[in-house]
């Protein structure tokens, strides 16, 4: 029976690994005194991990365990907090190759292992020496003069490579001039930590006010946990040089007063050209976890609703006739991010989801839209969908070329009829936007209009309850 022999070989492998690492001074999460995490929008975070360690005087190796597996090792910086200047790092190695059966097999390509087989009839184990030729999408072994694929039995290894670890580890060759225990801080940039803002809006029955709740959604796929961490978030587009990422600045601890009538769960302040949000309590971000933290809330925010029909510029230079039946009219809401509107806080980009209660008092989802980083005193405009009861029929009633023989001197005159229909029991106002090409003018119109931009004519047309209104106009376009 070879079972005791195999067990002994496995034990010797573990003992060898332990001996290879016992020369290191190891620090784990049990040594941690504080951790601070600043997360940026673009899958980037700054980690400051402070631990109490007892280091040998002189040259030694410090294995800093449980760091992020997505660490950018070139950004790592170790310093002594309690004995500044006592530590210097001579060399460092980032071991993020974790010990698994597949990784162990890959490390042994080109080396020999023992293959242990069990006779199914007698239960007797036999062992053969094999060379690992490949571990790519399976295993290829050379046993004696034959080549075998697959796993013909148990594989027993002579040792565990020193750079295979159970947790991501930064190993630093250091020189220490202090003899007393000291607090050290390792700071580094890492991927695998991300955040985004999510907002929930509830419209009131009159659709003229809303309640807003903001949440921060955190995702941790960094390969380690951050327990009782001080959390800060940076909203803004931070430039990164991907070959050598650098982010200036550290953690700033300042709080600003919330806007009137607005409850903020995070203190907000300006940081360079970005905005920094600081959670006023510690929170734990576990490995492979998504969690939400309250950001802000506001109530009774004035809101405006708009129905929008937007045209196109192609039919001003040709004859098209019918342009559409039962055309969809988009539904938007808009509100001001101002203190006078119960808001007035820089809003990080994210998704705003809008709800409204039905006749039974149950909140129903009515649409969502993305919002970009929105400074204070700016407008927030959301497209929620297309109106069911408000539609439009559009046709070109006349078209003629007035002059021109090339695309640089054409003059076109055309006329249009837009029949706006409203099946609601209350009147609505529909905004009609028509992109106008070239040098244009409205020759005649059934309704007043304004020049919304250099290439846009805008009408605001009232459509009566369960009725319709026709917008008729004639245009002249010069190229």
Band (311; pLDDT cuts 50, 70, 90): very high
Residue 264 structure tokens: 């903020």
Query: Does the pLDDT value for residue 333 go beyond 50?
Result: yes
Q: How far apart are CA 323 and CA 311, in angstroms?
A: 10
Maximal C-alpha separation, the chain = 103
Q: How far apart are CA 58 and CA 55, in angstroms?
A: 9
Pairing of strands 226-235, 32-40: parallel
What is the residue-wise DSSP string for 186-231? EEEEESSEEEEEEEEEEE-TTSSEEEEEEEEEEEE-SSS-EEEEEE
Band (262; pLDDT cuts 50, 70, 90): low
- CATH code of 304-337+381-478, in short, is 2.60.40
Structural contact between residues 46 and 240, judged by C-beta atoms closer than 8 angstroms: no
Pairing of strands 428-435, 304-310: parallel
Query: Does the pLDDT value for residue 101 go beyond 70?
Result: yes
Residue 254's region, left for phi above 0, alpha for psi from -120 to 50, else beta, is: beta
pLDDT tens sequence across 285-302: 999 999 999 999 999 999
Choice between 462 and 159, residue whose per-residue pLDDT is larger: 462
Residue 211 structure tokens: 């309640």
Stretch among 57-61, 137-141, 227-231, 264-268 having the lowest mean pLDDT: 264-268
Once rounded to an integer, what is the mean pLDDT over residues 184-196? Answer: 96
Q: How far is CA 250 from the centre of its chain?
A: 21
| Rounded percentage of the chain residues whose pLDDT exceeds 70 | 90
Once rounded to an integer, what is the mean pLDDT over residues 191-210? Answer: 95
Choice between 186 and 168, residue whose per-residue pLDDT is larger: 186
Q: So what's the pLDDT on residue 160?
A: 74
- CA neighbor of 424 nearest in space, from 389, 398, 394, 463: 389
Q: So what's the pLDDT on residue 17?
A: 42
Integer CA distances (angstroms), 39 to 194, 219, 256, 275, in order: 6, 10, 19, 12
Report which listed range, 148-162, 215-229, 261-275, is most confident: 215-229
Residues of CATH 2.60.40 domain(s) within the chain? 304-337+381-478
Stretch among 171-180, 202-211, 257-266, 347-356 having the lowest mean pLDDT: 257-266
Q: So what's the pLDDT on residue 58?
A: 93
Band (243; pLDDT cuts 50, 70, 90): low
Average model confidence (pLDDT) across the chain: 88
pLDDT tens sequence across 206-242: 999 999 999 999 999 999 999 999 999 999 888 887 6
Q: How far apart are CA 202 and CA 114, in angstroms?
A: 67
Task: Count the neighbouring beta carbons within 10 Å of the beta carbon of residue 336.
Answer: 19
| Burial (CB count <10 Å: 0-12, 13-18, 19+), residue 96 | middle
Query: Does the pLDDT value for residue 15 go beyond 60?
Result: no
Band (377; pLDDT cuts 50, 70, 90): very high
Residue 154 structure tokens: 């148990």
- CA neighbor of 50 nearest in space, from 59, 39, 37, 61: 37
**Model's pTM, two decimal places?**
0.72
Band (100; pLDDT cuts 50, 70, 90): confident
Query: Does the pLDDT value for residue 68 go beyond 60?
Result: yes
Residue 329 structure tokens: 């009219």
Q: How far apart are CA 414 and CA 395, in angstroms?
A: 11
Once rounded to an integer, what is the mean pLDDT over residues 49-67? Answer: 94
| Burial (CB count <10 Å: 0-12, 13-18, 19+), residue 150 | exposed
Q: What are phi and psi of 314, to 5 degrees?
A: -70, -30
Q: How far apart are CA 459 and CA 313, in angstroms?
A: 16
Q: So what's the pLDDT on residue 163?
A: 67
Sign of CA dihedral 420, 425, 431, 433: negative
- Cα end-to-end distance, the chain, whole Å: 95
């Amino acid at each position: 029976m070879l079972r005791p022999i195999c067990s002994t070989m496995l034990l010797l492998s573990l003992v060898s690994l332990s001996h290879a690492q016992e020369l290191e001074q190891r620090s784990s999460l049990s040594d941690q005194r504080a951790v601070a995490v600043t997360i940026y929008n673009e899958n980037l975070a700054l980690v400051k991990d402070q631990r109490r360690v007892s280091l040998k005087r002189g040259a030694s190796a410090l294995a800093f365990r449980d760091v992020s597996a997505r660490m950018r090792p070139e950004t790592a910086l170790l310093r002594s907090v309690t004995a500044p200047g006592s530590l210097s790092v001579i060399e460092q190695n980032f071991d993020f190759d974790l010990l698994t059966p597949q990784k162990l097999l890959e490390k042994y390509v080109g080396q020999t292992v023992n293959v242990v087989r069990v006779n199914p009839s007698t239960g007797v184990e036999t062992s053969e020496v094999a060379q690992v030729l490949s571990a790519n999408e399976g295993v290829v072994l050379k046993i004696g003069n034959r080549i075998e694929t697959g796993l013909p039995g148990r594989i027993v290894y002579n040792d565990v490579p020193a750079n295979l670890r159970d947790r991501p580890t930064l190993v630093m060759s250091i020189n220490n001039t202090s003899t007393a225990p000291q607090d050290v801080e390792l700071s580094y940039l890492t991927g695998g930590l991300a955040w985004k803002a999510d907002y929930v809006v509830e419209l009131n029955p009159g659709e003229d006010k809303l309640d807003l709740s903001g949440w921060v959604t955190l995702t941790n796929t960094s390969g380690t946990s951050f327990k009782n961490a001080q959390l800060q978030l940076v909203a803004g587009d931070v430039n990164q040089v991907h070959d050598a990422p650098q982010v200036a600045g550290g953690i700033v601890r300042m709080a600003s007063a919330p806007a009137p009538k607005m409850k903020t769960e995070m203190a907000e302040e300006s940081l360079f050209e970005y905005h920094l949000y600081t959670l006023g309590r510690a929170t734990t971000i576990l490995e492979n976890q998504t969690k939400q933290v309250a950001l802000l809330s506001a109530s009774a925010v004035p809101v405006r609703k708009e129905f929008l029909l937007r045209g196109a510029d192609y039919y001003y230079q040709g004859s098209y006739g019918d342009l559409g039946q039962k055309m969809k009219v988009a539904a938007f809401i808009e509100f001001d991010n101002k203190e006078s509107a119960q808001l007035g806080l820089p809003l990080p980009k994210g998704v705003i989801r809008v709800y409204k209660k039905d006749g039974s008092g149950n909140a129903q989802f009515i649409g969502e839209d993305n919002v970009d980083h929105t400074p204070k005193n700016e407008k927030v405009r959301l497209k929620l969908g297309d109106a069911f009861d408000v539609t439009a029929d559009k046709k070109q009633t006349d078209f003629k070329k007035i002059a021109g023989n090339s695309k640089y001197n054409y003059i076109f005159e055309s006329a249009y009829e837009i029949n706006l229909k409203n099946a609601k029991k209350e009147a609505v106002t529909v905004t009609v936007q028509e992109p106008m090409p070239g040098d244009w003018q409205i020759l005649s119109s059934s309704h007043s209009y304004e020049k919304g931009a250099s290439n846009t004519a805008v009408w605001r047309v009232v459509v009566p309850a369960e009725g319709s209104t026709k917008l008729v106009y004639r245009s002249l376009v010069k190229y």
